[in-house]
Amino acid sequence: MDEVKVAVIAPILGRDLSFVGDVDARVRVFDANFAAPGRRAGPDGPAAGDTERLGAVLAQAEVLLVGYPVPEGLAARSPRLAWAHHTQAGVSNLAGTDLWDSQVTLTSSRGVMAAAAIAEYALAAAGYSGRGLHEAARQKAAGEFTREGYAMLTLRGATMGVIGLGGIGREVARLARAVGMRVIGTRRSVTVPLRDADGADLVLPAGQLLEVAAESDFLVVCSQLTAETAGFINAAVFAAMKPSAVLINIARGEEVDEDALVEAVTAGQIRGAVLDVYAGELAGQPPRPELVELPQILLTPHISGNGDTSVAEPLRQLFAENLRRYLDGQPLLNVVDRARGY
């Protein structure tokens, strides 16, 4: 194989791009982080010449390493592009870009993108609700101070339901079992119930979502956003859940029917929800008022993966391994199936 030119538009990986060039002497690296959305010279947009500079880089690139947000028109300006790797675990933010609509092979960082930090958020959300901190927060906001309203349970012995036992879901399962929780979950590739698999006590096919919901004290959404999962946490799911149960969403807001969630919380059908995402977030829309105003719902601005100072290293290692495979003509890891959506 001749020289392979790799363009990098992923500031999350830092300024030192030697991890790319060190893979093989045939690799030539182009730092295109100057073109990353959000890295602007001023309020009037890109710095003078940036568009032309990026065009010159993309015209040569055979491989692209791209973060989030994804710049527009990458495929159209990259006639030689054969493979693009995305630094995010989910690829729903690629849908609608010309990379998604192209014939370029796509790979993701599924399984390595801040899995531990996001799983810790899910466990903290369970503790926040189960150990009564949500009621303390409500009382503080209302100027109250009483022992009433604390419907508490211990995490030990409670059931954590995990929807989507991928890389993040398995880490949620591991942490939950470590504190004595029973874990049940779903996985799309599973066709029959499996015990002690994927870090869970019981894994069910994706079609048995309602069974998982009915048994869970905490229901954690970890699945990828696809045509099948859009809005699938709906009124039927909330009807199946225990009145004391809590929904935790660390995936994508569009996977939850927010009308049904607000109705379920308001009616006392479920205890509440902890959400790190909301519908329309990736499009820059504000959250609907009820998600902010209802005391039973805690909403955070997609920060569950923050705080892990080592998050970039697993991403670097995954890309380097895939680049070796690409150079050697071997199958790539985490190839995206556009039909499945991940």
**Which positions are annotated as active-site residues?**
252, 281, 302
- Number of Cβ within a 10 Å radius of residue 152: 11
CA distance 142 to 139: 5
CA distance 144 to 137: 10
| Per-residue tokens: 338 | 């556009």
CA distance 68 to 74: 13
For the chain, the C-alpha Rg in angstroms (whole number) is 22
Q: Which residue has the tokens 């985490």?
A: 334
Task: Give the helix/strand (H/E) hosting 317.
Answer: helix 312-328
